[in-house]
Structure 1
């Protein structure tokens, strides 16, 4: 099976259209779905897609407002956005592109064109990431050491407090001797995630390791990795890994 290197988020209220788009993309990309703008926004923040395809007409938050939200938020403004709509006038297209969207397709559309647009936008996105990465690696040595020391402190705190109930943003900022705003900006700059996203991802990775390498019940794993309830643990575990904890264990168990 071909390895899927990119994750796409499809936000479409019409279930038939959404299923059709997902079906056309899922052989090439990892595809996640949302049926309204609010759920779409939450998945942008929690699941970190590489590209977003959204219809304009959505409940909760419409596609144009969502595109503007994505493009004005420091955490997400780098993400490519393609708008889909049945509205075909020039004014409608200008309104969509003025929201910051990278491209615009009018329904019905040729799926080969959508695939080419996705491929081109991801290529540009990857080039920008590589350019930034090269810039990052030539930073002065003192800056690199400072960044490494900072992230070592973050990791050490998470390791030491994962089972204590004290693993939260307020405690982390106090441990590092920095304000919550400064912590947020620095963690986002270095990892692409907010502090709470980083902590949650760390806890989920630890939980996945326990599910793979021990026979502990999922409820016990949830407690030992700092999740308040098994139900919440199962929900966000599935959001990240695509499987419930018990299903993940069955697929990855080494014992």
Structure 2
């Protein structure tokens, strides 16, 4: 049998899935043990005890100044910004994708614009956003919107253009107008694709959020990471990074479940 046709069994597949994580964790703790043995005050590779103490301090001990549990306060601030940015991006991307994908007249204007805007590095215009929208919440949300919306719009436009023209012709033959075509044919197809596109862009959304929080914020996961970096507090930074990764993974799982529940007929339900 050719190697390309060999598939792991279920037990072997689980082992292969866990193997990279086990190797990374083992390498970390071995390196940490070696460095801490040489220097008990080493901060570069903190051990499990150090990180557990940091989690206890950040998540379960009230801050002396504010009285807040910092990890949960930072998480709430970041998630509010992220969800607001994703919601606005989804609404704008879906609207532009429908208009540009269905109506050739509007496509001639919107499609080139979205192509050009999607090439602009969002982080390059972050100082402009701070100048225009201030240093508060709005600039951070706008950065996510600017970074995500053009990609969503282009993807949804392409999906709309891939819908077979026979469906439009048959619907118009039966008397459907433009609104009926959008609501009954285009929208179900694009809503399915929208969820998949948002899943693929979650990492970018988190990147824009953390970048904005690192520069100007008084709370948030990105703010806290860049605040404690000056003290080389890797025992805080690493749990925060793991927590961000876990949140992003949970959001991806939730979106996948939502996709399978709402659109079981779509190709994505097998993923």
* Normalised TM-score (structure 2): 0.29
Q: Which has the higher helix share?
A: 2
Q: Which one scores higher on RCO, CA 8 angstroms, separation ≥ 6? A: 2
TM-score by structure 1 length?
0.30
Which is richer in strand?
A: 1
